[in-house]
Amino acid sequence: MSLPEILIIWPGSPVLSLIIEFVIAILLLYLARGPAHKAIYSLSAIIHSGLRLMARSVLLGEKRLVERNREVILATGARAAERLIEREFYRVDAVVKRDMSGYPALQHKLGDQIAHIDEDYRESTEVPVPSPDWVKAVDTLAKLPSKGDSWIANILGEIHKTAQAQYKNTMEEYRKAVSVRHSLLEKMMPYWRRLSQTLDQVDKTIIGLHERSKVIDNRMAEYEEIRNQSDKAVRMLTSSAMTQFFIAALVLLIAIGGAVINFNLIALPMSEMVGGGSYIGNFKTSNIAALVIILVEVAMGLYLMESLRITHLFPVIGHMDDKMRTRMIWVTFSILLILAGVESALAFMRDRIAADMQALRHALATVETAQPVSSWIPTVGQMVMGFILPFALTFVAIPLESFVQSSRTVFGSAVAGLLRLIGFGLRLLGNMVRYIGEFLVNIYDLLIFPPLWLENLIRNKEQHTEVSDIIVKEEV
């Protein structure tokens, strides 16, 4: 029996059968209205609650992640600030050791210079001029009237002459003394200059220290902000990490470009050493060997930078004693130097092989082609590049460290954002499910609107009758 035949209740009249089935279905739906509504509401409530619970969990996770990110950012920032402050103090220490260690000698020098100046100053003090009273007495005697007495006149004349001579002598001595004083004062000039220069030097040192102290003040203010775990500090550090991340990524991309060029320089000659036709997996052994050499160079570069304490990726190296660290510097540098030499030789070999291949291609070409211009410049250029690139790759350690450190913050923020988005999506979905449940209930009622309409009609009529009875009773 096929499906349409099952549906036909009234043989020979499918439309009537359908109408009867429709009426029966409506009646059944009307009878099952209460439980159906409950079922729809329950289902939507279950899904809604589940989604809300999930959203809550996700948002809780996001909150924890944000807190953890905050802690990491502040810890990293505090460490960096401590390092900067420490470096500033080292600088101040260096300035103090350099300039202030010579302070006793400077003080001694200054004392000497001041003593010289003082001595010269004392020597240059003014010689007292002849007593003015004595001069006045002689002048008065010289000006007494002789009253025609030649003897008195002679005496007075002699006194006057003596006074004049004495005056001349005194003035001459005075001039000499002034001249000596001037010469002494002139001698003081270099001492003054030296004193001035010494004081200028001291002034410069003091100004330098003052500037350093200002920098330390600023760093300390930042450090305090971080220690106080303020939002401003977190924002500042996050922004700084983002900038670091993108700059480091850019520099790493440049470094990858350099590594690719390096790879192309040594891949062909490596096939001369390990064979051009051997494979490891789907990769040529020569290519893998070239890649390994480049990776070893990068690793050596990392160790060298660590040993020099420029980067801090490996605490084990950082914690080594200075003697061991110095040994490590020399070992890594030597390996790098050897690898650079090997690369340079490989670059030379590459040039030779390439030239040989080019010659073969010319020989195989059926048409005449122009001979390439032979020059030593490309050979030397390739050799120099082969020598320099390993050392250039050494500096990859610096952006790599920045990238690793900042990526924790950046990825943390990105994951937190993603979790927030997922939480929002789940909540939205939960609410949608709830309203879809209500919508389905309404649709259900819409499907069974005829019996519902009848039910309402009967209920209204009953209510109307009950109200009329009450009114009649009240009137009675």
Partner 1 sequence: MKKLIALGLLSLLLLVSGCPDTTSHSQGVYMLLDSSGTYKKEIKRAQAIINYLLGTLQPGDSFAVARIDSASFSEKDIIAKMTFDRRPSMTNQQKRLFKQKVDEFVAKVKGSAYTDITGGVLQAVEYLNETGAGRKHILIFSDLKEDLVKGQVRDFPIPVSECKVVALNVTKLRTDNIDPREYYKRVDQWKERVEAGGGHWRVINDLERLESILAD
Nearer to partner 1, 104 or 281 (CB): 281
Q: Nearest distance from residue 298's CB to partner 1, in Å?
A: 18
Q: Nearest distance from residue 367's CB to partner 1, in Å?
A: 10
Task: Say if CB 156 and CB 144 are below 8 A apart.
Answer: yes
User: Torsion over CA of 319, 324, 327 and 333, rounded to 10 degrees?
Assistant: -10
Q: Nearest distance from residue 313's CB to partner 1, in Å?
A: 17
Amino acid in position 148: G
Q: Nearest distance from residue 281's CB to partner 1, in Å?
A: 6
DSSP secondary structure letters along 249-275:
HHHHHHHHHHHHHHHHHHHHHHHHHH-
Measure the CA–CA gap between 306 and 395, rounded to whole angstroms.
Answer: 11
Phi and psi at residue 276, to the nearest 5°: -80, -15
Helix, strand or coil for residue 150? Answer: helix
Nearer to partner 1, 163 or 274 (CB): 274
First to last CA, the chain: 69
Measure the CA–CA gap between 303 and 305, rounded to whole angstroms.
Answer: 5
DSSP state of 310: S
Q: Nearest distance from residue 265's CB to partner 1, in Å?
A: 15
Nearer to partner 1, 282 or 374 (CB): 282
User: Torsion over CA of 44, 49, 55 and 57, rounded to 10 degrees?
Assistant: -150
The contacts found for 169-178 with CB under 8 angstroms, 24 or more apart, are: 170/129, 170/130, 173/127, 174/127, 174/129, 177/126, 177/127, 178/126, 178/127
Element (H, E) at 336: helix 322-364
Nearer to partner 1, 269 or 399 (CB): 269
Q: Nearest distance from residue 87's CB to partner 1, in Å?
A: 33
Nearer to partner 1, 177 or 353 (CB): 353
Question: Would you state the structure tokens that stand for residue 11, as one six-digit string?
Answer: 């043989």
Residue carrying structure tokens 């020399």: 330
Nearer to partner 1, 99 or 272 (CB): 272
Q: Nearest distance from residue 311's CB to partner 1, in Å?
A: 22
Nearer to partner 1, 71 or 356 (CB): 356
Q: Nearest distance from residue 266's CB to partner 1, in Å?
A: 13
The contacts found for 179-184 with CB under 8 angstroms, 24 or more apart, are: 180/123, 180/124, 181/123, 181/124, 181/125, 181/126, 181/127, 182/124, 184/120, 184/123, 184/124
Nearer to partner 1, 276 or 372 (CB): 276
Q: Nearest distance from residue 246's CB to partner 1, in Å?
A: 33
Nearer to partner 1, 190 or 276 (CB): 276
Q: Nearest distance from residue 339's CB to partner 1, in Å?
A: 21
Element (H, E) at 474: helix 449-475
Residue ranges binding partner 1 (CB under 8 A): 268, 271-272, 275-281, 352-353, 356-357, 360-361, 363-366
Task: Say if CB 51 and CB 429 are below 8 A apart.
Answer: yes
Nearer to partner 1, 178 or 359 (CB): 359
